[in-house]
């Protein structure tokens, strides 16, 4: 008899750090090198689409060069072995969770590997550079594709399903996120209000660290497989 029927896991940039992708707010992180107001808002894209495309083209190319790490694989293993439900909500726009084998996965901040047409609304798989002149494979119009990324000021994807998952969860695990961007930063409080146990696995205490009943600090590739192994043993 499993201890937890519904496990919800929130991940952030810290889970992909040891694969070689930069986090946002650590020393040397992405928002230290770039100004997010120039790159990650709808206004920035309207002002200078070439610059925004270039930023995401670089990041798309980086993701191609890296592989999932032991933490991504541990979460896929948990989904496979656990007797109850396991859902992963990721703030990450890389594809490392799915490449490791996670299937019940929500990309709440979008995906680098997709482009959305602002004319027809179609979301296309996009693995190479996206340019201002790129043509939408769905409506054949050029100039209207944008990265399928949630920018600041936009509403994250899957919010309704996420709320349903949080209201039903009995274990909430937050991994590799600073807890500084809402609504994701508020998920721990919601899960706690619904009676879930809350666990933080991070390099250091996050902004919301007081809301977690259990915390393990260290590298994701070490603490995530260890914690997952304890959950699988309890099944």
**Active site (catalytic) residues:** 109
Let me know how many helices (H) and strands (E) the chain has, helices first. 9, 9
170 near ligand OAD, rule: CB under 6 A: no
66 near ligand OAD, rule: CB under 6 A: no
CA distances from 20 to 67, 96, 171, 193, 209 (A): 8, 11, 29, 35, 25
Rank residues 180 and 210 by Cβ distance to ligand OAD and give the closer one. 180
Angle between helices 220-234 and 70-81 (to 10 degrees): 10
74 near ligand OAD, rule: CB under 6 A: no
* Per-residue contact string for residues 190-219; x = within reach of ligand OAD by CB under 6 A: ------------xxx-x------------x
DSSP three-state, residue 36: helix
Half-sphere exposure (CA, 13 Å, Cβ side) for 187? 38
Rank residues 72 and 82 by Cβ distance to ligand OAD and give the closer one. 72
Q: Site for ligand OAD (CB under 6 A): which residue of 7, 8, 19, 23?
A: 23
Q: Site for ligand OAD (CB under 6 A): which residue of 10, 13, 87, 231?
A: 13
Nearest alpha carbon to residue 176 among 19, 67, 28: 19
* Per-residue contact string for residues 35-54; x = within reach of ligand OAD by CB under 6 A: -----x--------------
Beta bridge partners of 88: 9, 105
168 near ligand OAD, rule: CB under 6 A: no
- How many other C-beta atoms are found inside a 10 Å radius of the C-beta of residue 81? 12
25 near ligand OAD, rule: CB under 6 A: yes
Applying CB under 6 A, the residues found at the interface with ligand OAD are: 12-14, 17-18, 23-26, 29, 40, 91, 109, 150, 176-178, 180-181, 202-204, 206, 219-220
């Amino acid at each position: 008899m499993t201890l937890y029927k519904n496990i919800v896991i929130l991940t952030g940039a810290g889970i992909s750090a040891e694969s070689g992708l930069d986090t946002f707010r650590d020393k040397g992180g992405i928002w230290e090198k770039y100004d997010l107001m120039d790159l990650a808002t709808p206004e920035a894209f309207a002002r200078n689409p070439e610059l925004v495309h270039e930023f995401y083209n670089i990041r798309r190319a980086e993701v191609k060069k890296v592989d999932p790490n032991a933490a991504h694989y541990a979460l896929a293993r948990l989904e496979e072995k656990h007797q109850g439900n396991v859902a992963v909500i990721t703030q990450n726009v890389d594809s490392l969770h799915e490449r490791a084998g996670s299937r019940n996965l929500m990309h709440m901040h979008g995906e680098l590997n997709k482009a959305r047409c602002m004319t027809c609304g179609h979301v296309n798989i996009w693995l190479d550079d996206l340019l201002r002149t790129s043509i939408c494979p769905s409506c054949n119009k050029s100039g209207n594709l944008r990265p399928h990324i949630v920018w600041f000021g936009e509403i994250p994807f899957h919010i309704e399903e996420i709320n349903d998952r949080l209201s039903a969860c009995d274990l909430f695990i937050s991994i590799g996120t600073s807890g500084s961007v809402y609504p994701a930063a508020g998920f721990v409080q919601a899960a706690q209000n619904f009676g879930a146990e809350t666990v933080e696995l991070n390099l250091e205490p996050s902004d919301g660290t007081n809301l977690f009943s259990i915390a393990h600090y260290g590298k994701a590739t070490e603490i995530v497989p260890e914690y997952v192994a304890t959950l699988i043993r309890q099944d």
